[in-house]
Amino acid sequence: MSEAEVVREVRGSAGWLTLNRPRALNALTHDMVRLIDAALARWEQDERIAYVVLDGAGERGLCAGGDIRAIRDSALTDEGAAARAFWRDEYRLNARIARFPKPYVALMDGIVMGGGVGLSAHGGVRIVTERSRVAMPEVGIGFVPDVGGTHLLGRAPGELGTHLALTADAMTGADAVHCGFADHFVPAARLPELRTALDGRQLADVLAEFEVPAPPSPLAEQRSWIDACYADGSAEVIVDRLGDSGEPAAKEAATRILGHSPTAVQVTLEAVRRARALGTLDAVLDQEYRVSCAALAGPDFVEGVRAKLVDKDGEPRWAPGTLGGVTWAEVERHFNISPSG
């Protein structure tokens, strides 16, 4: 286990966590989850620490997500045991962040995807910039949004969360504020000053000095057709509505959805809708653990990662290959499984 994967230090009255795998866009490993969790457990009791700050090394972003190559390897070599252990600890960390008793400040500059959302968007102080690209892109690799992502997506205004989940589209910083994934907007050029100020100054004073109003959300401007197309109905109905809407952006969304794993799309739609009814993050994380374990046992995740990251041919062979080929029994299997580990 390399301590350098997460740099943990105290600066003034702030505890700093820096994800430190910049060449991998700070992709999250099991060791990193353990290191972050241990630091939060210690700092929660440390009277010197007034708040915690999370950021990522490098210029590209906070975190591109979990180490999906390692998860795929687990599916292929140990029947998913290591993956299940990783998710168990990761989701518990997501819950710890949400209930952390001190301000938890996440600098969500650049790319923030998947597991990176889980580390940041459940915090109490979430800061984005004009460079932020925040997404839950799991359907594109045959997986389903996790790390509390379906909780956040289900709470977004109208059907914006459903749209984001099924298309895997990225939010701008302004979109993230509008959809409830972030709270504060700071110009990227001021991040160096912000980091210096966060080394011990009063948090409220820092936010007052650096925060500016978020620009208009491009996603919010499309809500009329998004709400009309994604409300109720099956995935097949949604795609038909998108194609028939007359909106060029809607037709493009339909094309993107049809390119993703049909099973992942169907399960994701159901997961977001069930997350709304479940209400609490803890209940949703429990659901996501079951769904993740079920998805790992299916063929599409291994195939999706192969096409995107291993062979990089961009031509996944989904099974089944169409939305209509996914049975309701297969969707239900993802929610009823009793995972081990």
Could you give the CA distance from residue 28 to residue 26 in angstroms, rounded to a whole number?
6
| Cα–Cα dist 320/209, whole Å | 53
Q: Which residues contact 232 (CB under 8 A, 6 or more apart)?
A: none
Q: Which amino acid is at 45?
A: Q
15, 61, 110, 115: the active-site residue: 115
66 an active-site residue? yes
- Annotated catalytic, 146? yes
Active site residue 246: no
- Exactly one of 15, 65, 66, 173 is catalytic; which is it? 66
Helix pair 68-77, 281-297: axis angle to 10 deg: 50
User: b/e per residue, 296-327, with b = 16+ CB within 10 A?
Assistant: bebebbbbbbbbbeeeeeeebebeeeebeebe
Sequence-distant (6+) residues with CB within 8 A of 127 are 105, 106, 107, 108, 109, 182, 183, 184, 185, 186, 194, 211
113 and 136 Cβ atoms separated by less than 8 Å: yes
| Distance of alpha carbon 135 from alpha carbon 115, whole angstroms | 10
Q: Looking at 55, 90, 109, 138, which residue is catalytic?
A: 138
**Residues carrying an active site annotation:** 66, 115, 138, 146
